[in-house]
Amino acid sequence: MPVHVLTIAQMREWEQATWAAHRTEDDVIRRVGHLVADRAVRMTRPADLVIVLAGKGHNGDDARRASHNLFDREVNLINVIDPETARKELATQWSLQPSLIIDGLFGIGLNRPLDDAWIELIQEVNNSGVPVLSIDVPSGLNADSGEPWGSSVRASVTLCLGAPKRGLLESHAWPCVGRLEVAPAIGLIPCEHRTPLIWTLPEDFTGFPLQRAVASHKGTFGHVAIIAGSTGYYGAAVLCAQAALRAQPGLVSVFTPPSASLPVACQLQAAMVHPWRSGMRFPDIFTSVVIGPGLAGPDVTDDLRSEAIRIWENLPFPVVADASALDWLPRGGTISGKLRVITPHPGEAARMLARRPDDLQKNRPEAVRELSRRYGEVWVVLKGYQTCIGKSSGELFVNSSGNPFLAQGGAGDVLAGYLGGLLADPEARKEPLPSILYGVWQHGAAADNLSARRRNWGISELVDEIGNVS
């Protein structure tokens, strides 16, 4: 079932409907306690000290219940009634080198500015340098607006309960939210609220990748063409092609300027590499095309750009435009029935919309809508934290996977290639949105898997991991 991003009022209505259906608050708190404890266990090691800050409301009840489930951790539960007393007690804990703070001070019910004593307590938490797991919302943050009520806990991870709260998707809230995760199954009845924003979850991709018939051959799963690479930018073409291969299409062909063809070909085995000759007419034999990665060198000719635009405007197969190609795209409508995908990062999207990146980040969903309208009702993958996917109308999807270590050169080339590989499959093209969402999620989940094993991973390892997360 889709997990919709909700306002505080919608969340309250959902809770009231649950109590009216004779489910009890204690049952929900018990389940939440297990979920919070499980996340805390994954952030710590046995015998680590975990400090639990439990306020007076249900957020505090969740924290207290979680503290009872941390069986092999040392736990210091601080029931916070007076913030000044709690701050003094907390200050005595730093010499014990706690590994985690569970933040259960305030939930979504906070509706007034904090006084100085509460602000000082929150500052004590933030200044400690200890990782923080916030329950549902970082304490002190307005869950509708994303603005602090004077001050807010800066969480490492925020575990939203039931559904993400709208304010936590605001860019100004991100420094407080940290990594946003959602625990949808907390014991509430099915949610009746439907909003335009949907949060993706791993379970949304049950059945991916698509099952393959035993009597298949390489022609069954399509042929990806990649127009990429140039002098000084060979790696972009290589990474894009390698990622496309991880989606396991039947064939992958790379077209690149003659000066780049040998360096690119030397790094690829399963992909065919062709030099792009002046006057060349792109053959209409493919089932998807990726255009753009690494097309920034001096050997990228006007002829190549013109042919790329012709492909975008006229040819029948899916086209993914990334990187340099985004600057070439004509505005206006694409031919009806043609599948087109653009994958800008915020800086590229800002150029395309003639805006400042900071302004664009303030309303990422609207940026997705506007990009889709301007460039012909295309699918837009607006990359970055909480990658947003959608079109000019209908539902928008916020990706749940990924981490800051994706901020490396080449990560976007991998995503573009992988999407192109997925969309080459004729079966995937019948309903492309699930494949696009899966490709984006898989890209981020691969980074998460790598970061769980080691911190200093590189993009070549991302290529090896993508498509392998289940």
3-state secondary structure at position 401: coil
Same domain, 421 and 317: yes
Kindly tell me the burial class for residue 297, based on how many C-beta atoms sit within 10 Å of its own C-beta (0-12, 13-18, 19 or more).
Answer: middle
Eight-class DSSP state of 424: T
Same domain, 261 and 159: no
Question: Among candidates 249, 221, 224, 255, which has minimal Cα distance to 237?
Answer: 255
Same domain, 166 and 61: yes
Is residue 84 in some structural domain?
A: yes
Phi and psi angles of residue 342, each rounded to the nearest 5 degrees, phi first: -120, 145
User: What pLDDT, on a 0 to 100 scale, did the predictor assign at position 281?
Assistant: 80
CATH value at residue 345: 3.40.1190.20
Contact 168, 158 (CB under 8 A): yes
pLDDT, tens digit, for every residue of 358-389?
999 999 999 999 999 999 999 999 999 999 99
Q: List the beta bridge partners of residue 135.
A: 159
Tokens of 207: 């059945």
Alpha-carbon torsion 394, 384, 345, 272, what sign? negative
Is residue 322 in some structural domain?
A: yes
**Mean pLDDT (whole number) for 109-120:** 95
**Containing H/E element for 182?**
strand 179-183
Is residue 218 in some structural domain?
A: no
Find all residues with CB under 8 Å of 125, minimum gap 6, and list them: 53, 90, 101, 103, 132, 153, 154
Indicate the residue among 175, 193, 211 that finishes a domain: 193
**Mean pLDDT (whole number) for 176-189:** 97
Distances from the Cα of 131 to the Cα of 40, 173, 178, 335, 444, angstroms: 10, 17, 10, 50, 22
**Containing H/E element for 18?**
helix 8-20
**Containing H/E element for 49?**
strand 49-54
Same domain, 188 and 235: no
Amino acid code (one letter) for 152 = S
Contact 339, 379 (CB under 8 A): yes
Distance CA(165)–CA(151), nearest Å, equals: 18
Is residue 203 in some structural domain?
A: no
Question: Among candidates 89, 102, 85, which has minimal Cα distance to 156?
Answer: 102
Q: Is the pLDDT of residue 182 over 70?
A: yes
Q: How confident is the model at residue 429 (pLDDT cuts 50, 70, 90)?
A: confident
Same domain, 377 and 290: yes
Same domain, 11 and 111: yes
Q: How confident is the model at residue 335 (pLDDT cuts 50, 70, 90)?
A: low
Distances from the Cα of 243 to the Cα of 51, 294, 421, 443, 457, angstroms: 43, 15, 8, 10, 16
pLDDT, tens digit, for every residue of 77-94?
999 999 999 999 999 999
Same domain, 187 and 227: no
pLDDT, tens digit, for every residue of 190-246?
999 999 999 999 999 988 887 877 878 877 889 999 999 999 999 999 999 999 999
**Residue keyed to tokens 């990334």:** 322
Distance CA(183)–CA(159), nearest Å, equals: 7
Is residue 215 in some structural domain?
A: no
| N- to C-terminal Cα separation, the chain | 18
pLDDT, tens digit, for every residue of 432-462?
999 999 999 999 999 999 999 998 999 999 9
Indicate the residue among 151, 177, 193 that finishes a domain: 193
Instruction: Work out how many domains the chain is built from and give that number.
Output: 2
Is residue 94 in some structural domain?
A: yes
CATH value at residue 52: 3.40.50.10260
Same domain, 287 and 188: no
Same domain, 174 and 253: no
User: What pLDDT, on a 0 to 100 scale, did the predictor assign at position 336?
Assistant: 67
Dmax (CA) for the chain in angstroms is 77
Host domain of residue 55: 3-193
Same domain, 339 and 437: yes
Distance CA(346)–CA(354), nearest Å, equals: 12
Question: Among candidates 385, 416, 420, 378, which has minimal Cα distance to 399?
Answer: 385
pLDDT, tens digit, for every residue of 242-288?
999 999 999 999 999 999 999 999 999 999 999 998 888 887 889 99
Is residue 214 in some structural domain?
A: no
Eight-class DSSP state of 406: G
Number of helical (H) and strand (E) elements in the chain, helices listed first: 16, 17
Same domain, 85 and 169: yes
User: What pLDDT, on a 0 to 100 scale, did the predictor assign at position 428?
Assistant: 84
Indicate the residue among 178, 193, 208 that finishes a domain: 193
Same domain, 28 and 135: yes
Distance CA(259)–CA(240), nearest Å, equals: 18
Is residue 199 in some structural domain?
A: no
